[in-house]
Amino acid sequence: MEVISTYVKNFDRELGGGIPKGHIIMISGTPGTYKSSLAFNILYHSAKRGIGSIYTLLEQSSDSLLVQMKRMGYRLDGKVKENLYIADLGRIRQALTSTDPKRWDTGFRKYVEGLVEEKLPDILVIDSLPVLEILSYFKNRREYLFHLFSWLKGLGLTTILVNEKPSITSPFGDEDFLADGILQTALKPIGGSDLQRQIRCIKMRAMDHNTSWFALEFREGQFRIAPAI
């Protein structure tokens, strides 16, 4: 099984090797738990190795993400600039011909298909699924998600969906059943007054993965896991 590395030190082996190529996985968790940073981390290190990717950021501008990534020490030049394409909402809106909200979803898909044809990437990130849902027009969420995942599968890329969850105990949604893999991130209380960012793999089709929680740390420009406290 060909895999894509997470570039999180010691984590790939807990996944049974990494993220299987062509799978649709989710990074799911509460706010501030490094979901976007992790997605970016994968694309960044892949880009350095010549692997192309598209990061669709469904925020008005990519400034806040890029400022944070630069502050974390990621350098957006050379091979990264060449291989990692960031499409923020401003850019996506500019490319859409119709302003009819009922057509937004079709427009978005056409736009992504065009980018895929042009850039021939291996990895696609959608940040985030809840925002994509807000922008899209649908009557039935289950049907909408089913079509979204079929469309993604048809693109043939490795896809990372960032999924914001309001709380760690949020119930599973249809997306959790449709995704090939789920990485869950959380902030856990440790000691009396501190919080620790943690990660675990609750699902990774085709892989013999660990399901334990690990501490997720970012130090000296690198993500790593450590035993959870």
Ligand X SMILES: Nc1ncnc2c1ncn2[C@@H]1O[C@H](COP(=O)(O)OP(=O)(O)O)[C@@H](O)[C@H]1O
Q: Which two tokens stand for residue 79?
A: 């091979």
| Residue 31 interacting partner from ligand X, Mg ion, none (CB closer than 5 to 8 Å by kind) | ligand X
Nearer to ligand X, 183 or 204 (CB): 183
| Residue 111 interacting partner from Mg ion, ligand X, none (CB closer than 5 to 8 Å by kind) | none
Buried b / exposed e across 72-107, counting CB within 10 Å, b at 16+? bebeeeeebeebbbbbbbebbeeeeeeeeeeebbeb
Nearer to ligand X, 139 or 219 (CB): 219
Answer whether 186's CB lies under 8 Å from 197's CB: yes
Tell me the residue type at 13: R
Contact call for residue 71 and ligand X (CB under 6 A): yes
Contact call for residue 139 and ligand X (CB under 6 A): no
Tell me the residue type at 74: Y
Nearer to Mg ion, 106 or 170 (CB): 170
Contact call for residue 50 and ligand X (CB under 6 A): no
Closest distance between ligand X and the C-beta of residue 107, in Å? Answer: 25
Considering just the CA atoms, what is the radius of gyration of the chain in Å?
17
Which member of 3, 14, 15, 35 binds ligand X (CB under 6 A)? 35
Which member of 34, 74, 85, 213 binds ligand X (CB under 6 A)? 34
Reported in sequence order, the residue ranges of the chain that DSSP labels E, i.e. its strands, are 3-4, 8-9, 19-20, 24-29, 53-57, 84-88, 123-127, 158-164, 181-190, 194-204, 214-219, 222-227
Closest distance between ligand X and the C-beta of residue 37, in Å? Answer: 3
Which member of 12, 110, 218, 222 binds ligand X (CB under 6 A)? 218
Closest distance between ligand X and the C-beta of residue 50, in Å? Answer: 25
> Which SS3 state, helix, strand or coil, does residue 87 take?
strand
Nearer to Mg ion, 36 or 83 (CB): 36
Part of the chain binding ligand X (CB under 6 A), chosen from 6-14, 42-50, 67-75, 102-110: 67-75
Nearer to ligand X, 183 or 207 (CB): 183
Closest distance between ligand X and the C-beta of residue 57, in Å? Answer: 11
Closest distance between ligand X and the C-beta of residue 188, in Å? Answer: 14
What count of residues does the chain have?
Answer: 229
CB proximity list for 114: less than 8 A, separation 6 or greater? 95
Q: Which two tokens stand for residue 33?
A: 């738990």
Binding site for Mg ion (CB under 5 A): 36
Cα separation of 15 and 104, whole Å? 36
Contact positions vs ligand X (CB under 6 A): 29, 31-37, 68, 71-72, 218
